[in-house]
């Protein structure tokens, strides 16, 4: 008998009964009863099924569960804990800053796409705490919102970026921060010039 697959989902190691070629999305929703990732297109086109795999966004509708054996998957539900681990916080917040910002900006309309938008934005902010508008647009480009909430999501990402910086405002600006700021300013200037 084949050995079961094991994956770490939102910090908990889980054994999986599904066949190895089962889409990860089905395992997360049907076997683990998680409600964040959603089925949209099933073709890697819309982003509603997105999760983080070792911190990088993937489309769970086209990812066989065998491909994530032994790896760490974070869903919408696990973002606060994932954020706390990244920032070495003693305790996970109730919500990841982007989740809070989406609420504060009242960004959601029907909400169907928002799993993917939030997961992708969390990935972006984990790599770049000061994304320029151009960088936000580039990062979010593969996520479809049929309600057209893109401007509100843009505001939510900017707000989350500020919240994350405010939370760590005691830290001195590092050389990496200065480089990031300069790069963002250059990128936005170039965009305005186009």
Contact residues for ligand FES (CB under 6 A)?
39-42, 44-49, 59, 61, 108-113, 145-147, 149
Q: Would you state the torsion angle of the CA atoms of residues 92, 128, 98, 33, taken in this order, to the nearest 10 degrees?
A: -70
Residues comprising the chain, all counted:
194
- Least Å distance, CB 83 to ligand FES, is 23
Q: Indicate the residue among 49 and 140 with the shorter CB distance to ligand FES.
A: 49
Between 66 and 184, CB nearer to ligand FES: 66
User: What interhelical angle do 97-104 and 79-86 show, nearest 10?
Assistant: 130
* Per-residue b or e along 146-173, where b marks 16 or more CB atoms closer than 10 Å to that residue's CB: eeebbebbbbbbbbbbebbeeeeeeeee
Q: Which is nearer to ligand FES, 71 or 146 (CB)?
A: 146
Nearest distance from residue 146's CB to ligand FES, in Å? 4
- CB 29, min distance to ligand FES, A: 11
Nearer to ligand FES, 28 or 46 (CB): 46
Rounded to a whole number of angstroms, the minimum distance from the CB of residue 62 to ligand FES is 6
Asked if 70 and 60 count as a contact pair (C-beta separation under 8 A), the reply is no
């Amino acid at each position: 008998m084949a050995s079961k697959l094991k994956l770490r989902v939102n910090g908990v190691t889980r054994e999986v009964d599904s066949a190895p070629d089962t889409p990860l999305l089905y395992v997360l929703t049907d076997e683990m009863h998680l409600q964040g990732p959603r089925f949209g297109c099933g073709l890697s086109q819309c982003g509603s099924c997105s999760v983080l795999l070792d911190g990088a966004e993937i489309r769970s509708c086209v990812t066989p569960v065998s491909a994530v054996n032994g790896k760490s998957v974070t869903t919408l539900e696990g973002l606060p804990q994932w954020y706390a681990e990244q920032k070495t916080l003693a305790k996970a917040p109730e919500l990841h800053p982007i989740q809070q910002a989406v609420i504060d900006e009242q960004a959601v309309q029907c909400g169907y796409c928002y799993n993917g938008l939030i997961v992708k934005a969390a990935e972006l902010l984990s790599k770049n705490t000061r994304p320029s508008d151009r960088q936000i647009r580039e990062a979010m480009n593969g996520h479809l919102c049929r309600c057209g909430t893109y401007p509100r999501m843009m505001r939510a990402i900017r707000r989350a970026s500020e919240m994350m910086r405010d939370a760590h405002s005691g830290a001195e600006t590092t050389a990496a921060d200065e480089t990031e700021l300069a790069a963002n300013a250059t990128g936005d200037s170039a965009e305005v010039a186009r």
